Structure 1
């Protein structure tokens, strides 16, 4: 059996102590992997994909209006109001999230309730 060097154990413990308590619990689950159930969603206007389900999170890409995309789940995140709709549901893709406000369908972009991230 191989032993983990003490320096690695010490570094891991130090990093763990730097993360504020409760931070990990507050983060949403990552979008599902492509091997899991997937759903087709269509934005009705160009929409940004963000790293986390917030408008201020890192920008990753833009989805084009009218095109079909593969989504894996939905989660609650920052509330978004646009075009007369208000919603805190974000659609999970392989690498990030987009507000459900910008997708055709119901408040979950037609993803089932069981598809929660």
Structure 2
């Protein structure tokens, strides 16, 4: 009898997984940009927050094309920083660029220190 009980439990468990799979897929498809942004923050070792909407570029300079933006106040996951092209704005001049999953942003537009609040040791 124990064998039958085990088989039934396994089948019920498999049925529950089969029922949950469509719900999980639908939930993932319905996630918002904010939820996706939060997932990116959690996947990276650091988080950065721009105080103004900032362009995301394919490389660490304004010579690289913009591939998107990060809105002011929106947290994003960051991996490291590197030196690139100089950026001057709002009385600040800096050549530090922070690497996100999507590309690079100038640290001039990020809250915190000259490295966008990443540690100085977090160079790429």
RCO comparison, higher one (Cα < 8 Å, 6+):
1
Q: Does 1:104 align with 2:107?
A: no
Choose from 77, 90, 109 the match for 2:97.
90
What's the CA shift for 1:95? 3.1
Corresponding residue for residue 22 of structure 1: none
Corresponding residue for residue 46 of structure 2: 39
- Mark the runs of 5 or more structure 1 residues left unpaired by the alignment: 1-33
**TM-score, normalised by the number of residues in structure 2:** 0.63
Richer in helix (by share): 2
Corresponding residue for residue 58 of structure 1: 65
- Mark the runs of 5 or more structure 2 residues left unpaired by the alignment: 1-40
Corresponding residue for residue 86 of structure 2: 79
**TM-score, normalised by the number of residues in structure 1:** 0.67
Specify the structure having the higher radius of gyration (Cα).
2
The more displaced of 89-98 and 40-49 is: 89-98
- Measured on the aligned residues, the alpha-carbon RMSD in Å equals 1.6
Runs of 4+, deviation exceeding 6 Å: none
